[in-house]
Amino acid sequence: MKNTISLLLVLLTFTVSAQEKHLKNIKQLTFGGDNAEAYFSFDGKNVSFQGNNPTWGLKCDQIFNLNIAEAAADSTYRPPLISTGFGRTTCSFFLPGDKQILYASTHLGGKDCPPNPEPRSDGKYLWPVYPDFDIFVADLKGNIVKQFTNSPGYDAEATVSPRGDKIVFTSMRNGDLDLYTCNIDGSNVKQVTHMLGYDGGAFFSPDGKKLVFRASRPQTPEDIKEYKDLLAQNLVMPTKMEIFVCNVDGSDLHQVTHLGKANWAPYFLPSGNKIIFSSNHQSTKGYDFQLFMINVDGTGLEQVTAESYFNAFPMFSPDGKKLMFSSNRNKRNPHDMNLFIADWVD
């Protein structure tokens, strides 16, 4: 059995292509289903992530706590469930001390998975922003120890500062999808962004002083009407998003990318001077997302991935040496998306 596992690990340690020069010793950590948004613990040994693997009896995303070493050593490893198993979940993140995990869930609105949006006749892709989403804190056994938000409407996409002092999240409490920060205990909630459009997927810079996030900014009367009409139905259309940066208090907000199409899932590089993100701006089909790097001032765009047609949710380990990301490379089934970890090469 050990020889079989060792052989499998050799096969799953992928060769770095010339086009993926920043990634070395790529290893696959999950096998089957839809696995995404894997974010490191403060000690760098685990990641919390959302998974929807039908072989685990799941019907929509739930939150898991994956031990990286165990997953890398055994392709049959099944991480423990952290969320309740009811409703739909998203956007988990370890709290300082690595004994608790923050995540958003709809389970108070019902035990069943909320329905996906009906397909549009024009084929345009929609994201649901379920109003039942609230943010919770659970221990590593899955016991909810705190309900973090209880305001009407969507509250989700929470991440924690590397300094361990603040949390940023997206909320619709003011009628639009804006960023908010609060202290690590949930006190001192402050609105960060104020412009019309969807602001989400925010992360702190390594020094905790800045935020990077994705945003839509409808400008024409037609686009504004479409955005507001969809938001009234708890929907957004994520096909036009760019990357923005601001100070934690919302000052010095500026747009980093001007690429068109969907630019999202940004994360600061360890230096704090560059951003890695996912984009389909080079795609002719729309669904070809690769990872790119760019300087904070918007210069120096560089492609990072080239394998497969979906790569997203990059995050650096606390020591800056490894990159976690989701990809459909090496998929067994057409809709598989799995977690991968790689050594980062500057």
Q: What is the pLDDT of residue 34?
A: 96
Average pLDDT rounded to a whole number, residues 171-180:
98
Q: What is the pLDDT of residue 335?
A: 84
pLDDT of 11 strictly over 50: no
**What 3-state DSSP class applies to 71?**
helix
Q: Which CATH number is 47-311 given?
A: 2.120.10.30
**80 token code pair:** 């423990």
Q: Beta-carbon neighbour count of residue 15 at 10 Å?
A: 8
**In the chain, % of residues over pLDDT 70:** 95
Q: What is the pLDDT of residue 10?
A: 38
On whether the CB atoms of residues 337 and 35 are closer than 8 A, the answer is yes
pLDDT tens-place string over residues 271-314: 999 999 999 999 987 689 999 999 999 999 999 999 999 999 99
pLDDT of 339 strictly over 60: yes
pLDDT tens-place string over residues 156-175: 999 999 999 999 999 999 99
Q: What is the pLDDT of residue 295?
A: 98
pLDDT of 1 strictly over 70: no
Euclidean distance between CA atoms 287 and 335, whole angstroms: 13
Query: Domain locations in the chain?
Result: 47-311
pLDDT of 224 strictly over 50: yes
- Reference 148, options 195, 193, 183; nearest CA is 183
69 phi, psi to nearest 5 deg: -65, -45
Burial status of residue 109 (CB atoms within 10 A of its CB: 0-12, 13-18, 19 or more): middle
Residues 6+ apart with CB under 8 A from 225: none
228 phi, psi to nearest 5 deg: -65, -40
Euclidean distance between CA atoms 106 and 117, whole angstroms: 16
pLDDT tens-place string over residues 234-277: 999 999 999 999 999 999 999 999 999 999 999 999 999 999 99
pLDDT tens-place string over residues 42-72: 999 999 999 999 999 999 999 999 999 999 9
On whether the CB atoms of residues 309 and 334 are closer than 8 A, the answer is no
Q: What is the pLDDT of residue 73?
A: 96
Of the two residues 23 and 8, the one the predictor is more confident about is 23
Q: What is the pLDDT of residue 280?
A: 96
pLDDT tens-place string over residues 102-152: 999 999 999 999 999 988 888 888 999 999 999 999 999 999 999 999 999
12 phi, psi to nearest 5 deg: -95, 0
Q: What is the pLDDT of residue 286?
A: 67
Looking at residue 47, the DSSP 8-state letter turns out to be E
Q: How far is CA 151 from CA 145, 172, 293, in A?
A: 18, 9, 36
Q: What is the pLDDT of residue 287?
A: 82
pLDDT of 189 strictly over 50: yes
pLDDT tens-place string over residues 302-314: 999 999 999 999 9
Q: What is the pLDDT of residue 284?
A: 86
Q: What is the pLDDT of residue 30?
A: 97
DSSP 193-224: --SSS-EEEEEE-TTSSEEEEEE----SHHHH
**217 token code pair:** 């900014």
Cα end-to-end span (Å), the chain = 37
Letter string b/e over residues 279-299, b meaning 16 or more CB atoms within 10 A of that residue's CB: bbbeeeeeeebbbbbbebebe
pLDDT of 4 strictly over 70: no
**What 3-state DSSP class applies to 108?**
helix
Q: What is the pLDDT of residue 17?
A: 61
Arithmetic mean of pLDDT over the chain: 94
